[in-house]
């Protein structure tokens, strides 16, 4: 099983957003399956530490390429810096979210989110599609989300970026099937990672990143979309048959619970 997986998706995998959360778990799980990993994210110290850990634990090779993929030229530079390696798997985990009313969030943050979650992902995914199609085998994992299937109050732009990723993955899966390239959208629910802190959310129950990584990689080559973790499965099943307007209201309630602390005012000091 391990050898077959490595043969299909090795010898090298590229993981973006590898310094934390799902990206870090993806890199560890891919290495456990016997595939060398290219690690990219902004924080070089965390990448170097992860690379050392992976080499010691799994006896595979690593390459660290620090990059801020929200910058216009960074995706192309990443492709150039890894062009000498035979990459059979690309896992695009780099991304972030914001929360709050669209009228209250900072425009710079919203534009940067589109640059990272959509534009950079497209550049990397399209390049991977071209290389892997010519190669005749390989895989691409794009990180969607449970919020990708309807509009979401207090996360309007983030949900829109994930809807883009979801639809892109579905279309690419059909485009590349005959070329022997597997493409999957992974749509988890809340995950215990640094994402919530940056997005200013407070999550109650959350899946472990390793659960998301393992279930996503296990599903690669078997379906177009995977909902890793029990929370995502429950939400997906319960919302799937409902009208879109009802899904929007339900997701608004869920987001209200995760952002309620933003609206709680600190008690006034006695004068």
Q: Where are the alpha helices (DSSP H) in 136-208?
A: 156-176, 195-199
Q: Which of 9, 12, 149, 158 is catalytic?
A: 158
Give yes or no: 158 in active site: yes
Contacts of residue 239, Cβ cutoff 8 Å, sequence gap at least 6:
149, 150, 247, 250, 251
CA geometry: angle at 26 spanning 20 and 30, to 5°? Answer: 140
Kindly give the pairing relationship between strand 138-143 and strand 87-92. parallel
- Taking a C-beta distance cutoff of 8 angstroms, is the pair 162, 144 a contact? yes
- Taking a C-beta distance cutoff of 8 angstroms, is the pair 24, 50 a contact? yes
Q: Is the peptide bond before 214 cis (omega within 30 degrees of 0)?
A: no
Residue with tokens 């909902």: 227
What are the tokens at 197?
A: 């802190």
Q: Give the active site residues.
A: 158
């Amino acid at each position: 099983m391990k050898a077959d997986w490595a043969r299909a998706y090795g010898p090298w995998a590229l993981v973006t957003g590898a310094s934390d959360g799902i990206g870090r778990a993806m890199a560890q799980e891919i290495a456990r399956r016997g595939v060398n990993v290219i690690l990219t994210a902004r924080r070089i110290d965390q990448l170097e530490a992860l690379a050392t850990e992976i080499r010691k634990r799994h006896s595979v090779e690593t390459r660290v390429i620090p990059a801020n993929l929200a910058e216009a030229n960074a995706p192309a530079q990443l492709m150039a810096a890894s062009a000498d390696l035979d990459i059979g798997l690309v896992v695009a985990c780099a991304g972030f979210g914001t929360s709050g009313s669209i009228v209250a969030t900072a425009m710079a943050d919203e534009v940067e989110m589109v640059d990272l979650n959509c534009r950079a992902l497209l550049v990397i995914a399209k390049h991977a599609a071209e290389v892997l199609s010519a190669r005749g085998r390989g895989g691409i994992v794009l990180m969607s989300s449970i919020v990708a299937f309807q509009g979401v109050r207090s996360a309007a732009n983030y949900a829109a970026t994930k809807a883009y990723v979801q639809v892109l993955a579905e279309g690419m899966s059909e485009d590349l099937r005959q070329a022997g390239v597997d493409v999957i959208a992974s749509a988890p629910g809340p995950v215990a990672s640094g994402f919530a802190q940056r997005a200013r959310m407070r999550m109650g129950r959350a899946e472990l990143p390793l659960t998301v990584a393992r279930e996503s990689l296990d599903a690669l080559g078997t379906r177009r979309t995977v909902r890793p973790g029990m929370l995502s499965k429950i939400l997906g099943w319960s919302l799937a048959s409902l009208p879109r307007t009802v899904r929007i209201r339900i997701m608004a309630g869920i987001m209200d619970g995760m952002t309620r602390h933003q609206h709680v005012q600190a008690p006034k000091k006695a004068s």
